[in-house]
Amino acid sequence: MSEIEQVNLPYQASLLSFFSAVRDLPYPALLDSNHEHFPDTQYDIVVANPLARIHPRANSQPITWRTKPLYTLSETENPMSLMNELMTLICQEPWAKNAPKDLPFIGGLLGYYGYESGHFVEALPDTVKHDISLEPLSVGLYAWAVVTSHKTKTTQLIIAPWCDQEEAADIINRLTSACDDVLVKHDLHHANAFSLQTPFASNMTEAEYAQKFATVQDYIQSGDCYQVNLAQRFSSTYQGDTFTAYQTLRNVCPTPFSAYIGLSPQQSLLSHSPERFLLCDQGRVESKPIKGTVARGTTPEEDKANANWLLASTKDRAENLMIVDLLRNDLGRTCLTGSIKVPSLFALESYANVHHLVSTVEGRIDQADHAIRVFHQSFPGGSITGAPKIRAMEIIDELEPHERSAYCGSIAYFSANGQMDSSITIRTLVADHGNLHCWAGGGLVADSKCQEEYQETFTKVGKLTHTLEQDFLK
């Protein structure tokens, strides 16, 4: 096979059943737009069983092949450098150059970058406690993908030339045998297969948060920084199948960048993120940073008043603008000169528990393999660090007691046809050998008020933690 193969499947309003049909394979991932609530997010993607996995390894090339290596790569210990090189080779393939540009993913790289992957981009301190066994990043090279377009109401299996006929036949058989109602009901019927063992508890007290808040204010007043994102971690213990928990949270907390990634029987990511990090669509690069948050109201009148308050908030608009400027600078490293624009400032977006202020920053690139370079040079997203970015990250390392792991990193794909999309992994849970962690933070600026910022962290994460405690706590 010298070109991609497109196999038409019955249109799926969600890919939960197809994901259930393949998630026994290694490293399955579901990118889940929850499109009924967010019509502007038009694609869902399922992958599994990568040909290779890129992940940091001590003193060796950070790639593990399942099959005979497809490409000869230089010896490097930096996984981001290796992925840059790999995507250049992939995008130069004749079949990749000739592939349709309107498909989001035709095979390529997909996975997660933890916040600590920033150490592969910049020289940063590392004094936090590392008590989560997930790797700093894990990205697979996938040879097939199920892709749903909600705009055209089509679902296809996309098979890259890398995929052998035996595997392709197995995937087609799994998908054509899958039944939405039976599989989804089967998973939900066994909801007792997941249980929460303890309530969520923070890794800092209110007094400790206040002390850290005061330290940030001292840094701001002394001119070290303008904004620092300070987060606390909430942890519990669990038993059972985290995909059950994911489906429950998906229904209660619909978001446009939901995702479930299975890493092993004991490790998974459950992401319910509202925030896009970077999109590349036929050379156009877009980022949509979130800065500015207020809780939803309990009545329609209160909800509208809260939204209007946020739209008029001088503090939140200034906080948002700082990150817009930071992203303009980040994108300017790799996008074409003069292409950076800000078509939207301070737009209101509403979710189940909060209203957000969201801006849009755009740029352009001229080569397909540049998408991953834009991503790497902009990582991690400025909306979850602060400004200036490096100094803010140094302060985060000083003040937060534990690693962020997948939180404030990204879930991303880089397609062989040059397309790319990615989220900021906020509202994200990390399941690790019976421990379940989630985080919430906020950008602290000069006129922030400690009690308001502290409460905002609970507002952001409360829908996730309260739902799991209510439905699954024994």
Active site residues: 275, 291
CB distance 143 to 415 below 8 Å: no
Query: 211 — phi, psi (to 5°)?
Result: -65, -40
Question: What does the alpha-carbon distance between residue 85 and residue 89 come to, in Å, rounded to a whole number?
Answer: 7
Distance between CA atoms of 87 and 77, rounded to whole angstroms? 17
Token pair 């900021």 is found at: 424
Residue type, position 207, single letter: A
The tokens describing 123, both together, are 């020289």
Tokens 């962290």 label which residue?
A: 457
Task: Give the distance from CA 35 to its chain's centroid.
Answer: 17
Element (H, E) at 364: strand 354-364
Note whether 202 and 458 are within 8 A (CB).
no
Cβ–Cβ < 8 Å for 96, 162: no
Q: Give Cα separations from 258 to 59, 293, 337, 426 (angstroms).
A: 34, 19, 33, 10
Three-class DSSP category at 411: strand
